[in-house]
Chain A
Amino acid sequence: SAVISQKPSRDICQRGTSLTIQCQVDSQVTMMFWYRQQPGQSLTLIATANQGSEATYESGFVIDKFPISRPNLTFSTLTVSNMSPEDSSIYLCSVVSAGEYGYTFGSGTRLTVV
């Protein structure tokens, strides 16, 4: 199964600033998925990132707020822009993974906006 390194693991940020979250995969993958988990809630898909093309965003998420880069088949970043306290969440990346688990998830980035 693929292994994902996600950074940072947590951060506390001032409102109005931006944070970029990185996910590095130890193998080449076609698609990477970005999720948000608000406190006490489920995982909601933000967007799907395909290398070489613009990310596809789910309803309620826009590129200006959550720009995504996918420069190659092993790496992606998600930026949370112009943050407000409502953006305080855990952000996770995920890939389809060969092997027993089917999917691999990053360990998550716990973001607190103050």
Chain B
Amino acid sequence: AQSVAQPEDQVNVAEGNPLTVKCTYSVSGNPYLFWYVQYPNRGLQFLLKYITGDNLVKGSYGFEAEFNKSQTSFHLKKPSALVSDSALYFCAERQNSGNTPLVFGKGTRLSVIA
């Protein structure tokens, strides 16, 4: 079965420092990987996705993620964190075939401290 692991429930980082939110995936072959952010009392917002191509994917709000096939990882990164980045972040994957749903990781709560 597919599974996406986000090993950290909570990540704390000081404003201005780089941030990393970790994700590992399980789909064999060519995974489709996504990052979403959810602010309090708001809907899911798409950040970025990897389907194929460059391993470094750039997304919204200055976020980027690096696809690493050997480590089956897709960590989310940002060079300089903002207090406004504080939110719940979800990694998700889908199989590379057809009309299938996303499977979500448990989520990581990011807290950026001023």
A binding-site residues for B, Cβ under 8 Å: 30-31, 33, 41-45, 48, 92, 94, 96, 100-103, 105-108
Q: Which residue of A31, A41, A96, A102 contacts B106 across the interface (Cβ within 8 Å)?
A: A41
Whole-angstrom CA separation of A100 from B59 in the bound complex = 11
CB of B101 closer than 8 Å to a CB of A: yes
Residues of the A chain whose Cβ atoms lie less than 8 Å from the Cβ of B49: 101-102
* Besides A42-B90, A42-B104, A101-B46, 14 other A-B contacts (C-beta < 8 A): A30-B99, A31-B100, A33-B101, A42-B106, A42-B107, A43-B102, A44-B104, A48-B101, A92-B43, A94-B102, A102-B34, A102-B46, A103-B34, A105-B43
Whole-angstrom CA separation of A43 from B101 in the bound complex = 11
What is the minimal beta-carbon distance from A57 to any residue of chain B, in angstroms?
12
Residues of the A chain whose Cβ atoms lie less than 8 Å from the Cβ of B106: 41-42
**A96-B43 in contact (CB<8A):** no
Whole-angstrom CA separation of A92 from B69 in the bound complex = 31
**B99-A96 in contact (CB<8A):** yes
Residues of the A chain whose Cβ atoms lie less than 8 Å from the Cβ of B107: 41-42
**B32-A92 in contact (CB<8A):** no
B binding-site residues for A, Cβ under 8 Å: 32, 34, 43-44, 46, 49, 51, 90, 99-107
Closest to B106 in A: A42
**A94-B34 in contact (CB<8A):** no
Interface of A is mostly: strand
Whole-angstrom CA separation of A101 from B101 in the bound complex = 14
**B101-A102 in contact (CB<8A):** no
Q: Which residue of B32, B44, B90, B105 contacts A102 across the interface (Cβ within 8 Å)?
A: B32
What is the minimal beta-carbon distance from A45 to any residue of chain B, in angstroms?
5
Most buried by B among A33, A42, A94, A107: A42
**A105-B44 in contact (CB<8A):** yes
What is the minimal beta-carbon distance from A56 to any residue of chain B, in angstroms?
10
**B90-A43 in contact (CB<8A):** yes
Closest to A104 in B: B46
Whole-angstrom CA separation of A29 from B99 in the bound complex = 10
Whole-angstrom CA separation of A43 from B93 in the bound complex = 12
Whole-angstrom CA separation of A41 from B104 in the bound complex = 10
